Amino acid sequence: MLSFQRIPAAKILSGLILCTTVFLAGCAGSPSPMAPASPNATTIYNLTVIVFVIAAAVFIVVEGMLFFSVIRFSRKQSPGEPEQIEGNTKFEIAWTAAPAIVLLIVFFVSLQALFPLASTPITRTGKTTGSGALGVNVGQTETLQVRIIAHQWWWEFVYPDLKITTANEMHVPVGAIVTADLEAIDVIHSFWVPQLAGKTDVIPGRVNQTWFQVAQPGTFRGQCAEFCGIQHANMRFEVVAESQEQFQAWVRQQQSAPTPKTGVAAKGEQIFMSSACIGCHTVDGTKAQGKTGPNLTRFGGRRYLAGAIMENTSENLARWLANPQGVKPGALMPNLNLSQDQINALVAYLESLK
């Protein structure tokens, strides 16, 4: 015999509320698009809120009418067939016009957000090309040009004017308008710092652009947002927004001449310069000029390594050098079968590159 068990509505509702709470809790803090810290991210956030409110209103009205009908015209409430309204002209016009009006409103608010997002507020020459809509004052604002190059599975940041190349960590001064040229070496990636700007695809063979302007000091996590292979999820980075003075100090540190190595670090340098490392990595001012892997000129000063999946500590670095594939399977750095002595020396050398 068939038996039907009815799930109490209250249980479903409380379950739904719990799921929603857990889901929304995941949106708090960095890297949440719900906590924008740049004008274009704010434009996206505002649009999200407006569209959400409209969608919620539609949902409530439609579901409200549905529930009303289910209860009001149930057999218990009103036995017999309810009045039929098929072909009612007034209703036909109303339920055609109402969605059309709602969609038109959504269309126009989206359009209003689209143009300021698509246009960089300054051109490469530093000339202003309008602002206003975003409330950004581009007149006196400082600008910073960065080339962002996506690799499987790490990010390269090049500051052409400052002659700096780094990886997985992008420093910018608070308040400056940062314009970024996005390039890809291998496959399609997507540049995304949820708190700073919407996703922009990074496509081999063409240069896409994005921009942002960080409102307050802080670190903002970024993530590749287009599936690009086995380590796609571990293709992360961080934007460090700091005061003008701190940024200048960082620039000076990046540009300073390397210090001569002594002791274990000198031994590590010798191993580095005489092995396969130099075929893939660059250390400015040395014969290491490889381009396949991250530039290591100032590696010791970086907070993370290997696509910002772990902190740059001596232990993590040793783990990485001992077996890159064990740490990040599929990563494009081979296991070089280094001895423990070689690893220790390399760690001392690499961490001294500050």
The footprint of ligand HEC (CB under 6 A) covers: 153-154, 167-168, 231, 272, 275-277, 279-281, 292-294, 296, 299, 302, 305-307, 321, 328, 331-334, 336, 338, 346, 350
HSE at residue 344, side-chain half, CA atoms within 13 A, is 5
293 interface partner picked from Cu ion, ligand HEC, none, CB below 5 to 8 A per type: ligand HEC
Least Å distance, CB 202 to Cu ion, is: 8
- Closer CB to ligand HEC, 116 or 293, in the complex: 293
Establish if 228 lies at the interface with Cu ion (CB under 5 A): yes
Give dist(CA 334, CA 328) in Å, integer.
Answer: 11
CB 279 within 8 A of CB 290: yes
Least Å distance, CB 209 to ligand HEC, is: 25
Establish if 184 lies at the interface with Cu ion (CB under 5 A): no
Q: Which residues contact 318 (CB under 8 A, 6 or more apart)?
A: 343, 344, 347
334 interface partner picked from Cu ion, ligand HEC, none, CB below 5 to 8 A per type: ligand HEC
236 interface partner picked from Cu ion, ligand HEC, none, CB below 5 to 8 A per type: none
| Of residues 50, 52, 41, 45, the one with CA closest to residue 200 | 41
Please give the single-letter amino acid code of residue 247: F
- Closer CB to ligand HEC, 168 or 254, in the complex: 168
3-state secondary structure (DSSP) of residue 169:
strand
Give the interface segment with Cu ion, choosing from 14-22, 225-233, 239-247, 285-293 (CB under 5 A): 225-233
307 interface partner picked from Cu ion, ligand HEC, none, CB below 5 to 8 A per type: ligand HEC
Establish if 235 lies at the interface with Cu ion (CB under 5 A): yes
Please give the single-letter amino acid code of residue 222: G
Least Å distance, CB 93 to Cu ion, is: 50
Residue 132 backbone class (left: φ over 0; alpha: ψ -120 to 50; beta: rest): left
- Closer CB to Cu ion, 171 or 189, in the complex: 189
Please give the single-letter amino acid code of residue 112: Q
Burial of 53 (0-12, 13-18, 19+ CB in 10 A): exposed
Contact footprint for Cu ion (CB under 5 A):
189, 224, 228, 235
